[in-house]
Amino acid sequence: MTQKTGYPSIDRPWLKYYSEEAINAPLPECTIYEYLWRQNKDYLNRIALNYFDNRIAFRELFRNIDRTAAAFAVLGVKAGDIVVIASVTTPETIYAFYALNRLGAVSNMVDPRTSAEGIREYIREVNATVVMVLDATYGKIKEAIRGTNVKKIVIVSPADSLRGIKRLGYRLTKPAPKLDENCVSWRDFIEVGRGKTYDEEPYRKDRCCLIVHTGGTTGSPKGVMLSDDNLNALVQQSILTGIDMQRIHTWMDIMPPFIAYGLGMGVCLPLVIGMETILIPSFDPKKFDELIIRHRPVHMVFVPSYWGTIIRSKKMDRIDLSNIVLAAVGGDSLDIELEKAANAFLKMHGSKHAVTKGYGMSEVCAAVTATIDANNEIGSVGIPYVHTTISIFDPETGEELTYNQRGEVCITGPNVMLGYYGNPEATNAILRRHADGRLWIHSGDIGYMNENGSLFIVDRMKRMIVRHDGFKVFPSQIEKTVARHNSVESCCTVGTRDTAHSQGKLPVVFAVLKPHADAQQTEAELRRLCLLELPEYAQPIQYRFIDALPLTPIGKIDYRALETAANQ
């Protein structure tokens, strides 16, 4: 029987960019802690974490993970238990994450800004008896645990790993809260485990070690269950891209730990490589330029919206960026005009590398593609990781499409999640077994792949605007046209109700104008531009100029908020 060709899942054209060694490299079969230990046990004196200039060596990192594991064990945490962690990226968060992994327990990462009611639901969902939270959220947590089975609350402070005057300054401005009996400070928590032993749980394939929550702007939050294998595959395949990542490099982590992107790419990847990882627990995009100037990182990952801050910054005018190897963006689409501007900015400031783009989602452990210098095509999100297969399928018939045909992006490989916690219906909706016998994630993204294996994301299926007459309008198509206008800083297109018909939606453009731009003149020019470049059915019915696009907590454009505004 002749095998069909001309399909990405069969041809896998991206493999031409990988060496035979990378293609044949086995994935780690161990826990995430064991992977970290194996890679760094001979380099214990090198710096692992840089937390406000407190440089923590790998020797201290492993010692603190061990102490944390012992303390959790004393509290009764054992294999299979789920501990809720509502914190930012502090050393203690990292100790707890790896310590729970040694015990065979699960870290359930929660955004500490979540409401008390929301945190209560996360606790109830997994029947957690132990939670670890930031001191600033203590009052909210006391309310959140009512009606739950929580027996102990571990309170962690951003000051716990500060040193000297910085620690004193923090404590003077933010005194430690008075704790109830069921609470314990981090320092006392660690003392509880001093001298105690515990049983380390051995590696078991497909064992859940992490839950992160997805939903936010795309629906009801769901707990994504990720395994040791998922996280290790993310790290190993990121290394196998061939991007220059060395132990002697530094990595600046500005992404929060309660998203797979932040924990997988911001913590696990650089630490396994052995880099000094600079922790930024509280990130202000307006001060991104200051962080780059101060720390001079070789690698950093962030969302596309932060590029505007860097490019516009007067502080960056004469800064040498030749040290930058990886300025990676993910988590949201990067506008082509912004990508070109960012590449020109990097080149002008001495970097030999273009912006590194990637694509992924929590359900595939953050990332499954990356651009490398050999295939960094403008507008693409890169090629699939070496052990990952990505293809495009017709969302209605389920048939695989060939090159340059638009359809739903589907992913199969070692990064694919175990499922949604306690939600088999949602799991079955997104994770489906195809005729080839493999489980594929149906991303909900519309995209296409070219003959080189480069993936292009067109839009979200959920963002697609369906008119009353059935015509489908892709917001990104309008956004690309509008963004080219010289007066437009940024923009987002959403659908609003078609009041002239019983169903259907019509596109509305929200735009941020550059300083001194004339709104009336710009709107008239945008209408002419769209008439020239867009089909009749895709013409925006309204342009709204606002001071700033709303963002989600991690910096994505919050199109749900704009949809609400458009329909008011």
Classified as helix, coil or strand, 128 is coil
> Which letter, b or e, does each residue of 245-279 get, where b requires 16 or more Cβ atoms within 10 Å of its Cβ?
beeebbbbbbbbbbbbbbbbbbbbbbbbbbbbbbb
- H or E stretch including 493? strand 488-497
**Does the fold of domain 58-204 match that of domain 8-27+230-459?**
yes
431-438, long-range: CB within 8 Å, 24+ apart, which pairs?
Answer: 431/363, 434/398, 434/410, 436/9, 438/389, 438/412
The token pair that represents 543 in the structure block: 């342009």
* H-type alpha helices, 296-335: 307-312
Q: pTM of the full predicted structure?
A: 0.85
Q: Can you say how many angstroms the Cα of residue 433 is from the centroid of all Cα atoms in its chain? A: 26
Q: Which residues pair with 277 in a beta bridge?
A: 49, 251
Cβ-contact 377, 334 below 8 angstroms = no
The tens place of each residue's pLDDT in the chain, 568 residues long, gives: 344 568 999 999 999 999 999 999 999 999 999 999 999 999 999 999 999 999 999 999 999 999 999 999 999 999 999 999 999 999 999 999 999 999 999 999 999 988 888 899 999 999 999 999 999 999 899 999 999 999 999 999 999 999 989 888 888 788 888 888 899 999 999 999 989 999 999 999 999 999 999 854 345 679 999 999 999 999 999 999 999 999 999 999 999 999 999 999 999 999 999 999 999 998 888 899 999 999 999 999 988 878 888 998 999 999 999 999 999 987 777 888 889 999 999 999 999 999 999 999 999 999 999 998 888 999 999 999 999 999 999 988 999 999 999 999 999 999 999 999 999 999 999 999 999 999 999 999 999 999 999 999 988 777 888 887 767 788 888 998 999 999 999 999 999 999 887 668 999 999 999 999 999 999 999 999 999 988 888 999 999 999 999 988 767 788 889 999 998 8
Domain locations along the chain: 8-27+230-459, 58-204, 463-566
Q: How does DSSP classify residue 534?
A: S
Q: Which of 33, 15, 34 is nearest to 25 (CA)?
A: 15
Q: How far is CA 430 from CA 230, 375, 416, 483, 554, in A?
A: 17, 30, 11, 32, 23
Answer yes or no: are the C-beta atoms of 312 and 562 closer than 8 Å. no
The 10 Å CB-count burial string (b at 16+, else e) for 95-126 is: bbbbbbbbbbbbbbbbbbbbebebbbebbebb
User: What is the third-level CATH fold of 463-566?
Assistant: GMP Synthetase; Chain A, domain 3 (3.30.300)
| DSSP category for residue 261 | I
Number of Cβ atoms within 10 Å of the Cβ of 502: 7
**CATH numeric code, 58-204:** 3.40.50.980
AA letter at 470: G
Distance CA 161, CA 61 (A): 12
**Which of 55, 7, 1, 15 shows the shortest CA–CA distance to 375?**
15
**Number of alpha carbons in the 13 Å side-chain half-sphere of residue 290:** 6
d(CA 422, CA 547): 41
Q: DSSP letter for 385, please.
A: -
DSSP 103: H
Q: What number does CATH give the domain 8-27+230-459?
A: 3.40.50.12780
Question: Three-state SS across 187-256?
Answer: HHHHHHCCCCCCCCCCCCCCCEEEEEEECHHHCCCEEEEEEHHHHHHHHHHHHHCCCCCCCCCEEEECCC
